[in-house]
Amino acid sequence: MSLAPLLELRDVSRRFGGLQALDGVSFALQAGEIFGLIGPNGAGKTTLFNVITGVTRPSSGQVLWKEAAIEGLPPHRIHRLGLARTFQNLRLFDSLSCLDNVQVGLGRSDRRRALELLALFGLQDRAAEAAAGLAYGDRRRLEMARALASSPQLLLLDEPAAGLNPTEKQELSSVIRRLAAELRLTVLIIEHHVPLMMQLCDRLAVLNFGRRIALGRPEQVRHDPLVIEAYLGGAGGDPPPEVSP
Amino acid sequence: MDTLLQILVNGISVGAVYALFALGYTLVFSVLGVINFAHGALFTLGAYLTYLGVGGAVGSNGALAGWALPLALPFPVALLLAGAGCALANLLVEAIAFRPLRRRGAEPLLYLITSLGAGVVLVNLLQIAFGAEGYALPADALGDLPPVLSLAGARIRSVQLLLLLVCAVVMAVLTVWLERSRGGRALQAVSEDAVTARLLGIDSDAMVRLSFALSGLLAGLSGGLVGLSVSIAGPYFGIVYGLKGLGVLVLGGLGSVPGALLGGLVVGLAEAAVPGDLSGLKDAVAFAFLFAILLLRPQGLLGRPPISKV
Amino acid sequence: MPDGSLLVQMLIGALLGLSVYLPLAAGQLSLATPGFMTVGGYVAALLSTRVAALGGAEPLYPLPWLLLELVLAAVIALALALVVGLPVLRLRGIYLAIATIALNEILRVLLLNSSWTGGAVGIFAIPQPFGDPLGYLAALLLLLLLAGAACQVLAGHPLGRAMAAVRDDELAASCSGVDSFRVKLLAFGASAVLAALTGVLAAHFFNTWNARQGSFDASITTLAFVVFGGSRLWLGPVLGGLVLTALPELLRPVGDLRLVVFGAVILLGPLLFPQGVVTPALLQRLPLPAGWRRRLLP
């Protein structure tokens, strides 16, 4: 990996009052890879997303995008650099139509392009409907369509499979692979469903209590003693990575 | 030119009222994360109820002209009853203006609007019942207490001392209750995280009602005391205090109990220090502080920076 | 034709309704519409009565000077909106509501205590640019049409969508590339300018002007326009302003109950009709030509 990384975190920490949400986290993403972030509840995964996307400032450390520091920039500036995200608990513009949700992501009025994006997720027939009225799975898909509208280079997905049924989860996995390949996306993904992550991700980082305790290819991470301990040590309610699909 | 001591006395006693006001906002804010704009109207209600309680009659411009209670209660009893009445009234405000929105998970903006509406309805009903005229509580309401004490050249009115006393007691009781008691800690837990609190078996609806009742009680007590201290200048006088209380609230820090106290004292003292020939500008002091603090330290003097939950 | 002056007041109400609607469309409650209107009115009143060179010989106040007042009022209101908005709109939530209350109060105190603005009694004998209510009617109608057209364009414009996005979820909007601070500031600035322009015309029409125009009551009344009419479509606050201004005049007997009724509208409106009277669903049902309907809906 001699190429300069697309995104690099250097020693990123974040405190909230007495809580050390992130503690010296470092890793780097290469362009084109699907990179997973796993860890028990409260490990700091979403905080890390917030730091990368400008929602939260790091207390210390650096976030580098194509080797330039971006920490402290406001979210909309970071979005315009080519980083787009989804949210763990789905944040759509409920009063807007599906079409307009996507057009907000586009930043301009372009019906045709917006319809293409909706079609990527099979939502073209729903274009005029208000986002509030969609079924749960469609809401997840719409949020991804909105995130992709700006043609980002890095897509950050926060638990995209939460609340989906097993069939939808399988579909999601193949959709992510296909999009990554077709749109030359780099994907950073948080997901609790470990089997899905094992088969989807090129590399994984494991967080526990705000620290990165492991980093590597899925099969390396799976057998890392620290990871096994984090999951079996009672720190959270997630299934250990040993569980097979 | 008043002596420094006089300014301190006047400033602290006015500041105590502002603090009580901001505290009433804070109690509701810490549980629901929204501001109850009807608070100023409850303050007015407290003043009128106290006036009726001590045996005052409705003036000639009100729909209830000439009406009075058949008996005159001692001031402390009337004040406590007025506080209780305002607690009940605030529970009604909660039930009408807040609860339906909470059930629906509505955006915070709507609470501002509905509570503003509740306040406007309440104030204007009072205006219809009592007329727009001012009322003064009887000067002998405090019984045998001398109306004015002299201390090192400063004139201290008994009612100012009473205000201070009530404010100090309320602050102390509330702080201890919030930190030590089961109910107080439950209230704090709900304000930290309503969902988790529910999982721990805390009835957050009951906590919301408790915070409204307490906050209404504070509004009623301070309304009655101010009514005694400076008279009731018509149904809108509570709104003026209510608006200033917002300045105090932001100055001290939204949701901070010691912040409400500090903010109240700062604004009260600053107002008292405004020289006599500029006294017309006094009413702008709280709002000047508000802008200054928003520029310099948006979380307020003692507030914590907000943590956004994503 | 009913009383011409009632129609003028209804149009003023509609314009003020739009002024409250604009920030609300971006999720911000501004209670300063009457405050900005007061500022606009004082610009008109001071310029036309204190600048001696004006309005000497002619029976009517010259229109070019009226235009100058409008420009000046817009600039001053915008500057004031920036002073208030810059610190406040970077913060999320309810700060604008509180800060605009503070602005109203500071304005009121300053105006009441300055002899230059006529103190508590205000300014009298403001000259008339128009001979009868028809002139005011035309001027206000023109302003309303311009403002309505601007809102209409906004509905299909990225900026209008960005406002709605900020209203629905500010954080998600920022993470979707919307500069929420800029969007909120633009909406608030537009609201201030519209209120100030309305104030200029209102001051001439009422012939007298004082600080009471910006009272807390006025804030409540203008808010009721929007809550009643609805804040999803710009037609809502226009209708709200027209109807609720006419209502107390038509129902004189209501008298003292006027503010109780407005309070009840503000209290119960969001509970019973969360979207106000004019909703997209209503427009779907009305027997409008299809082209109209498509244009009015976002």
pLDDT in tens, C127-181: 999 988 899 999 999 999 999 999 999 988 999 999 999 999 999 999 999 999 9
Q: How far is C172 from chain A (nearest CA, A)?
A: 6
Q: What is the pLDDT of residue B191?
A: 67
Question: Which chain A residues are closer than 8 Å to B304 by Cβ?
Answer: 17
Q: What is the pLDDT of residue A7?
A: 97
Asked whether residue B210 carries a pLDDT value surpassing 70, the answer given is yes
A91 or B294, which is more confident = A91
Asked whether residue A236 carries a pLDDT value surpassing 50, the answer given is no
Size of interface B-C (CB pairs under 8 A): 126
**Taking CB atoms and an 8 Å limit, are B118 and C29 in contact across chains?**
no
Is residue A55 within 8 angstroms of chain B, CB to CB? yes
Asked whether residue B77 carries a pLDDT value surpassing 80, the answer given is yes
Share of chain A above pLDDT 90, in %: 69
Asked whether residue C42 carries a pLDDT value surpassing 80, the answer given is yes
Q: How far is B23 from chain C (nearest CA, A)?
A: 16
Q: Looking at chain A, which residue has its C-alpha nearest residue B306?
A: A16
pLDDT in tens, A154-202: 999 999 998 888 888 888 899 999 999 999 999 999 998 888 898 999 9
Gap between the Cα atoms of C55 and C43, Å rounded: 15
Is residue A173 within 8 angstroms of chain C, CB to CB? no
Is residue C227 within 8 angstroms of chain B, CB to CB? yes
Q: What is the pLDDT of residue A86?
A: 96
Q: Looking at chain B, which residue has its C-alpha nearest residue C274?
A: B110
Q: What is the pLDDT of residue C277?
A: 77
What per-residue string of b and e applies to B167-206 under the rule 16 or more CB within 10 Å gives b? Answer: beebbeebeeebeeeeebebbebbbeebeebeeeebebee
Q: What is the pLDDT of residue C53?
A: 60
Range among B49-53, B71-75, B144-148 rated most confident: B49-53
User: Residue C290: is it exposed, middle or buried by C-beta count within 10 angstroms (0-12/13-18/19+)?
Assistant: exposed
Q: Which residues contact A33 (CB under 8 A, 6 or more apart)?
A: A186, A187, A202, A203
Q: What is the pLDDT of residue C15?
A: 97
pLDDT in tens, B184-200: 777 777 666 666 666 66
Q: Looking at chain C, which residue has its C-alpha nearest residue B307?
A: C92
Gap between the Cα atoms of A118 and B241, Å rounded: 53
- SS3 of chain B: CCCHHHHHHHHHHHHHHHHHHHHHHHHHHHHHCCCCCCHHHHHHHHHHHHHHHCCCECCCCCCCCCCECCCCCCHHHHHHHHHHHHHHHHHHHHHHHHHHHHHHCCCHHHHHHHHHHHHHHHHHHHHHHHCCCCECCCHHHHCCCCCEEEECCEEEEHHHHHHHHHHHHHHHHHHHHHHHCHHHHHHHHHHHCHHHHHHCCCCHHHHHHHHHHHHHHHHHHHHHHHHHHHCECCCCHHHHHHHHHHHHHHHHCCCCHHHHHHHHHHHHHHHHHCCHHHHHHHHHHHHHHHHHHHHHCCCCCCCCCCCCCC
Cβ(B75)–Cβ(B141) under 8 Å? yes
pLDDT in tens, B118-147: 999 999 999 999 988 899 888 777 777 777
Identify the band that residue C59 occupies on the pLDDT scale cut at 50, 70 and 90: confident
Taking residues C48-72, report their average pLDDT: 80
Identify the band that residue A68 occupies on the pLDDT scale cut at 50, 70 and 90: very high
Asked whether residue C1 carries a pLDDT value surpassing 70, the answer given is no
CATH homologous superfamily for the domain A1-82+153-245: P-loop containing nucleotide triphosphate hydrolases (3.40.50.300)
Question: Which chain C residues are closer than 8 Å to B243 by Cβ?
Answer: 101-102, 105, 216
User: Residue A202: is it exposed, middle or buried by C-beta count within 10 angstroms (0-12/13-18/19+)?
Assistant: middle
Cβ(C29)–Cβ(B113) under 8 Å? yes
A146 or B111, which is more confident = A146
Q: What is the mean pLDDT of chain A?
A: 89
pLDDT in tens, C65-104: 999 999 999 999 999 999 999 988 988 767 888 899 899 9
Cβ(C237)–Cβ(C21) under 8 Å? yes
Asked whether residue B283 carries a pLDDT value surpassing 70, the answer given is yes
Q: How many residues does chain A have?
A: 245
**Taking CB atoms and an 8 Å limit, are A55 and C174 in contact across chains?**
yes
- Residues 113 through 142 of chain A touching chain B, CB cutoff 8 Å: none
Domain-by-domain residue ranges, chain B?
A: 27-243
Asked whether residue A237 carries a pLDDT value surpassing 60, the answer given is no
Taking residues B21-32, report their average pLDDT: 86
Q: What is the pLDDT of residue C58?
A: 66
Q: What is the pLDDT of residue C252?
A: 62
C252 or B38, which is more confident = B38
Question: Which chain A residues are closer than 8 Å to C167 by Cβ?
Answer: 95
Asked whether residue B299 carries a pLDDT value surpassing 90, the answer given is no
Q: What is the pLDDT of residue C51?
A: 78
Gap between the Cα atoms of B130 and C4, Å rounded: 36
Q: What is the pLDDT of residue A233?
A: 60
Q: Which of C29, C109, C257 shows the shortest C-beta gap to B112?
A: C29
B94 or A224, which is more confident = B94
Q: What is the pLDDT of residue A242?
A: 42
- Please state the ipTM of this predicted complex: 0.90
pTM of the model as a whole:
0.89
Asked whether residue B310 carries a pLDDT value surpassing 60, the answer given is no
Is residue A87 within 8 angstroms of chain B, CB to CB? yes
Q: If phi over 0 gives left and psi between -120 and 50 gives alpha, with beta otherwise, what is residue B255? A: left
Strands (E), A66-117: 68-69, 83-85
Q: What is the mean pLDDT of chain B?
A: 85
Q: How far is B27 from chain A (nearest CA, A)?
A: 22
Taking residues C239-250, report their average pLDDT: 85
Chains in contact with A, where contact requires at least 3 CB pairs less than 8 Å apart: B, C
**Taking CB atoms and an 8 Å limit, are A55 and B304 in contact across chains?**
no
Taking residues A50-74, report their average pLDDT: 94
Q: What is the pLDDT of residue B196?
A: 65
Q: Which of A16, A46, A49 shows the shortest C-beta gap to B307?
A: A16
Q: Which of C102, C110, C262 shows the shortest C-beta gap to B291?
A: C102
B148-151 and A211-216 as β-strands: parallel, antiparallel, unpaired?
Answer: unpaired
pLDDT in tens, B145-171: 777 777 777 788 888 888 888 888 888
pLDDT in tens, C254-281: 566 777 888 888 899 888 887 777 777 7
Question: Which chain B residues are closer than 8 Å to A50 by Cβ?
Answer: 310
Q: Looking at chain B, which residue has its C-alpha nearest residue C259?
A: B124
Q: What is the pLDDT of residue A163?
A: 86
What are the φ and ψ backbone dihedral angles of A45, each rounded to 5 degrees? -65, -50
Q: Which residues contact B309 (CB under 8 A, 6 or more apart)?
A: none
